[in-house]
Copies of this chain bind each other. A is one copy, B any other.
Amino acid sequence: MAVTTTSVAETCAAAKRAARTLASASTEAKNAALAAAARLLEERTEGILEANAGDLADERAAGLADALRDRLSLTPARVAAMAEGVRVVASLDDPVGEELEHKTLASGIDLRKVRVPLGVIAVVYEARPNVTIDCAALTIKSGNAIVLRGSSYAERSNGALAAIAREALAEAGLPEDAVQLLDVGAREGLAELARQEGLVDLLIPRGGEGLKEALKSVATVPVMYAAAGNCHVYVHAEADLEMARRIAVNAKVQRPGVCNAAETLLIDAAIAERFAPAVLADLHEAGVELLGDERVRALSGETAVGAAAPEDWGTEYLGLKMAVAVVDSVQDAVEHVNAHGTGHSEAIVTSDEEAAEEFAAGVDAAAVYINASTRFTDGFEYGMGAEIGNSTQKLHARGPIGMRELTTFKYVARGDGQLRE
């Protein structure tokens, strides 16, 4: 889209003003804006695809790897899916105004703890145009304004999509400045965004460790880092071994490039002899490169298993590669996970309730799965609508960042002249 000369600070200030209006907007008005956005996405599909074609034809896009190019590409089906996602968000309960507590204090004061929007959310994201609409929908419904900073690769697509979100707001009588798309120019713009204290209430960077490190040293606004995931599947002595094979393969292979995919398989020593050869063969057949500790390699049979180096236990491969170790007990598995994991998603396969409890209580992670794949940690799967990211922080938000995670609360205290003695 056209380059403007509006500064980051001015853009954030405009968002802040709009946020004050959106904070008290009715659920009906917000849903009307979302309905309008869904309709406009459908009506303007052609224009969106043209803008996207422009991004894809840009010389910069020529150098993109296939997977990244695929993420950047829009199709009629993908635009329809965006519209459907916006309608799902409209159908979810409005978190704003939810009463979290209500009590009468000893002083006689009536105290309510009420959910309110955070204000202005800034999101920095990779070259995935659908994020523009997903994030705008979640912030509008939760009464926040959003400042989007996408990738220069997706500049035209994002411009077309943000324009639709703004038009939809205006159509519903809400301030269009509640959706802002920053010019993607110099790297300094990022640091400037991260220093808008008093204007930006929360910054969510989606992207790799480089972006995280770049922000850590400069950010003065609150930042919630979308997470890296070094996830594990632990197959316990009392596991259904057929189920365990399917879960191990699904957690690794179904979509290896995402944060809730498994990176390490832990096999209990009690069943290692029976289980290891079969699961290693399954994984190998699914195209997974395997690295094992000595005990695993001794049981690998005909499957090629390389020697795992110490750093393999801490690596998020984000691809078809997996580390495999034998552990001697639930306690050992918990210790391995807590020593090497990133606190994202951890699974145990077992039919022993006690082992399941011990693992679930001992593992320090956002999500623990008992007899299910780690791949389910996701805002949509959790019934939260779309998600803005996944948090492995323990404060405020843990796991999928949905609408509730974009809110705070306020105490509203009503008295009849109470004084503190």
Contacts and interface: CB of A to CB of B under 8 A. Distances in A.
Contacts of A20: 362
Interface stretch (A52-60, A64-72, A156-164, A367-375): A367-375
A28 interface: no
Given A105-B383, A394-B408, A415 B202 contact: no
Given A254-B419, A368-B411, A372-B413, 17 more contacts: A23-B361, A105-B381, A107-B381, A109-B376, A118-B394, A201-B394, A246-B417, A367-B410, A368-B413, A369-B415, A371-B417, A373-B419, A375-B420, A376-B420, A377-B411, A394-B408, A398-B411
Interface residues of A, number: 62
Given A105-B382, A119-B364, A410 B398 contact: yes
B419 A246 contact: yes
A24 interface: yes
10 contacts: A119-B394, A240-B417, A356-B414, A367-B412, A368-B411, A368-B413, A370-B413, A372-B419, A373-B419, A398-B410
A399 interface: yes
A366 interface: yes
Nearest to A335: B20
B410 A366 contact: yes
Contacts of A410: 360, 365-368, 398
A301 interface: no
A416 interface: yes
Interface in A369-421: 369-373, 375-377, 381-383, 393-396, 398-399, 408-421
Contacts of A416: 243, 371-372
A46 to B, nearest CB: 31
A222 interface: yes
The 10 closest A-B pairs by CB, nearest first: A372-B415, A375-B420, A396-B396, A250-B419, A394-B408, A372-B418, A367-B411, A395-B396, A243-B417, A370-B414
